[in-house]
Structure 1
Amino acid sequence: MTENRRTELEALVTDLVSIETENPPGNERECAEYIRGWFAERDIGAKLVFEPDPDRPQVGVGVGEGSPELILNGHIDVVPAGDREQWDHDPYVPTIEEGRLYGRGSADMKTGVAIGMLATAQFADEIESGDLSGSIVFHAAIGEETAEPGTKTLLERGYDGNYGVVLEPTGFRTATSEKGLAWYEIRVDGEPSHASRPDQGKNAIVRSRPVLDALVEYDDAIRERTDELVGQAYATVTGLEAGTKENVVPEAATITVDRRFLPDETVEQIDREIDELLVDVEARHGIETAWERTRTYESAAIDPDSPLAAIFREHSEAIADAPTDPWGIEASTDVRNFVNDAEMQAITWGPGDLAQAHTYDEHVDLEDAVAGLEIVLEAGRDVLGGGSDA
């Protein structure tokens, strides 16, 4: 890869990371406008898509009319940086030290977005010149961090195709399946009273104990459910909120549960399990509860030996010495929208370490970024020039 291309990639990642796009609240607009302008400078038509949220545009690009069509997808929202005092590097002033670029979103996933942009521009040149027979589509999606339908909307609005690559950090491993994620809020009711007369009320925190015990037992049981590629199922209690004042017996408590589920489980099945668990607790302990599923990322899976996966494994091994065994990702990504909603062959793949996502001093190795771009270019040419071979 030329030195100019390396410099261009480093500069583009730096620019993207320097634009704060935290979600919540959903500050993607400035970054989306930057990306549209970047493509316009290269005479490539990029459109702002003002759905699903008119105040938070996303970007869609499509070049070519041939087949097959390859989609390169990335989300531009990032999780909040949190306590700035915990960062050794300002999260929005990208810093390069010892070959690493530090900043919020550097790993998750603005390096992937930058790679997608540069690869799309290169493929556009090769499609226009006739060197490639297929078409290239690029997504800069909103709302991935909060399970919003950014990518789903882009696919529905015509930015679709035959194959999709979600450029999340996987350390160059090719994920053909992923866990699902469902978040639940369980309300346990009590009755308030003054803490000087605690027996007059019904303490919602105390009444939460059997629910918590049942959730621990549920987690123990479902850990026996496993998938060869993505591992175990989990049900993890991640929050307990109750109380209004120090001297008031709380009238309600809210328990938050993070449920990670396998490709052969469904949210409808899990809803039933949560409901049955609470019905049993209510009957045995005489308490009142209510539950709500507040967020859902569906699980997704394709054939581990799919042609798209095989192409990316081949080039990842040749360029980055990446493992070639079938693999699934334990996190949740927008690949579910490709597989479940658009019914297309898609993988999650990219440079960088997923363990860096959402951390203080998040960073990406720039040599990995360069290798990632090279792999996308080589693999993408195989797909776009290969017709039915892909």
Structure 2
Amino acid sequence: MDAELTEIIAELVSRETENPPGNERRAAEYVHEWLTDRGVDAELVSEPYEDRPQVAARVGEGDPTVVLNGHIDVVPAGDREEWSRPPYGAEVEDGRLYGRGSADMKTGVAVGMKALADLKAPIESGELGGSLAFQAVIGEETAEPGTKTLLERGHDGDYGVVLEPTGMRTATSEKGLAWYEITVAGEPSHASRPTQGDNAISNARPVLAALEAYDDRIGEREDDLVGRAHATVTQIEAGTKENVVPEDAVITVDRRFLPDESADQVDAEIDDLLAEVEADHGVETSWRRTRTYESAAIDPDSRLADVFREASAERADVPTDPWGVKASTDVRNFVNDASIEAITWGPGDLAQAHTYDEHVELADATAGLRALEDALGTLLDE
């Protein structure tokens, strides 16, 4: 295990950066200080939000430029009683470091920081060509424009590596994600006179049935790398009091879509679905899309992907077949918004993300660092 890498991971995990509300500042300041102390040209960027700085850093001036990207926000720790260790204690036991964000994705951020510092000397001496950039971004967990803003401000390059925990598998595509709130209308009345009103919960039944049928239907759509499409009802909210017939019900749908689908296409499908329910059942509905992560994909046989597959296989028992990630990441900002060839790749187990007792295997983190530096050495030396 790399002792300095472990120290960086622990320091990042111990700085609580839950989003919401979005309090990444202490982690950003640590990253900035750590890099500048090692002579790396780094800056705190107060965009898109003044009170939530991001870090942009760079070594070298040549081509190509590889951008390493990681988000410093984490999902809330939830019920602290469910954790066997303090979620921000960064405790190490049996080769594992525990804490919220240890897997998703402060280990990736730490690996990027360490690689930047380690490769500074060979890049600046000319031993390695090209240049290396690094981004520690805010707001990934809530689809905020942290990465997008840095890319728009010129903190970009020729290749991108989003250091999410993929077990060091190289993902060249990912699903998109759209969240929908569907409001089903009713009419309130006292529960002692239920027929005087119009129960929104009852009205929601045909909507729920239509959504279930929709999920079955789109499940026939499948991508070789990321699997099938999904539409999953994740929340239902209705009612104001025990003795009041509810006047509306709000259904939340998590729609995972494939690289050849788009959010606009899904919008049209939701529109058609609800129009059919209204026509068949006389139910009044409205909807809005509340959050969007577009899907993204590059050529699975790209040079960038091949280099990372080979480097990972050299350092660990990692499959080298083409692969895609079912979650959504900021790789979409590189591919879709900035037209930069990019992959999702990093040490750690994605199954640990957002769990109680989240942890990372420190041996995997070290193997990831070595594989990353190997891959960067190959890319920058071409």
TM bucket (normalised to shorter chain) is over 0.9
Matches within 5 A, 1:65-84: 65-84=61-80
Return the alpha-carbon distance in structure 2 between the equivalents of residues 141 and 86 of structure 1.
Answer: 28
The amino acid that maps onto 1:312 is F
The amino acid that maps onto 2:316 is A
Aligned with 1:208: secondary structure? helix
Matches within 5 A, 1:133-212: 133-212=129-208
Return the alpha-carbon distance in structure 2 between the equivalents of residues 335 and 119 of structure 1.
Answer: 19
- 2:374 paired residue number: 378
Matches within 5 A, 1:307-322: 307-322=303-318
- 1:131 paired residue number: 127
Measured after TM superposition, the shift of residue 222 of structure 1 is: 0.2
- 2:15 paired residue number: 19
- 1:63 paired residue number: 59
- 2:258 paired residue number: 262
Aligned with 1:120: secondary structure? helix
Return the alpha-carbon distance in structure 2 between the equivalents of residues 125 and 22 of structure 1.
Answer: 35
Return the alpha-carbon distance in structure 2 between the equivalents of residues 11 and 339 of structure 1.
Answer: 32
Alignment equivalent of 2:347, drawn from 351, 359, 363: 351
Matches within 5 A, 1:98-109: 98-109=94-105
Structure 1 residues 192-250: Cα deviation after superposition (integer angstroms, max 9, x where no partner): 00000000000101100000000000000000000000000000000000100000000
The question of 1:301 aligning with 2:294 is answered no
- 1:362 paired residue number: 358
Measured after TM superposition, the shift of residue 56 of structure 1 is: 0.6
Return the alpha-carbon distance in structure 2 between the equivalents of residues 264 and 235 of structure 1.
Answer: 16
The question of 1:53 aligning with 2:49 is answered yes
The question of 1:33 aligning with 2:29 is answered yes
The amino acid that maps onto 2:60 is G
Aligned with 1:137: secondary structure? strand
The question of 1:228 aligning with 2:224 is answered yes
Structure 1 residues 22-69: Cα deviation after superposition (integer angstroms, max 9, x where no partner): 000001011101111111111212111111111111110122110000
Return the alpha-carbon distance in structure 1 between the equivalents of residues 45 and 3 of structure 2.
Answer: 30
Measured after TM superposition, the shift of residue 321 of structure 1 is: 1.8
Alignment equivalent of 1:96, drawn from 81, 84, 92: 92
The amino acid that maps onto 1:322 is V
Return the alpha-carbon distance in structure 2 between the equivalents of residues 259 and 64 of structure 1.
Answer: 42
Alignment equivalent of 1:330, drawn from 326, 333, 337: 326
The amino acid that maps onto 2:239 is G
Return the alpha-carbon distance in structure 1 between the equivalents of residues 3 and 260 of structure 2.
Answer: 44
The amino acid that maps onto 2:161 is V
Return the alpha-carbon distance in structure 2 between the equivalents of residues 242 and 187 of structure 1.
Answer: 10
Return the alpha-carbon distance in structure 1 between the equivalents of residues 200 and 264 of structure 2.
Answer: 28
Alignment equivalent of 1:242, drawn from 233, 238, 241: 238
> RMSD across aligned C-alpha pairs, in angstroms?
0.7
Return the alpha-carbon distance in structure 2 between the equivalents of residues 314 and 180 of structure 1.
Answer: 27
Aligned with 1:54: secondary structure? coil
The amino acid that maps onto 1:223 is G
Return the alpha-carbon distance in structure 2 between the equivalents of residues 273 and 141 of structure 1.
Answer: 33
Return the alpha-carbon distance in structure 2 between the equivalents of residues 154 and 306 of structure 1.
Answer: 24
Measured after TM superposition, the shift of residue 100 of structure 1 is: 0.6
The amino acid that maps onto 1:97 is E
Aligned with 1:91: secondary structure? coil
Structure 1 residues 66-119: Cα deviation after superposition (integer angstroms, max 9, x where no partner): 000000000000000000000001000011111111000000000000000000
- 2:286 paired residue number: 290
The amino acid that maps onto 1:54 is E
Aligned with 2:97: secondary structure? strand
Aligned with 2:10: secondary structure? helix
Aligned with 2:22: secondary structure? coil
The amino acid that maps onto 1:217 is A
Return the alpha-carbon distance in structure 1 between the equivalents of residues 254 and 72 of structure 2.
Answer: 24
The question of 1:216 aligning with 2:209 is answered no
Aligned with 2:236: secondary structure? strand
How many pairs were matched up?
A: 382
Return the alpha-carbon distance in structure 1 between the equivalents of residues 232 and 67 of structure 2.
Answer: 34
Aligned with 2:121: secondary structure? helix
Measured after TM superposition, the shift of residue 347 of structure 1 is: 0.4
Aligned with 2:177: secondary structure? strand
Return the alpha-carbon distance in structure 2 between the equivalents of residues 345 and 82 of structure 1.
Answer: 36
- 2:5 paired residue number: 9
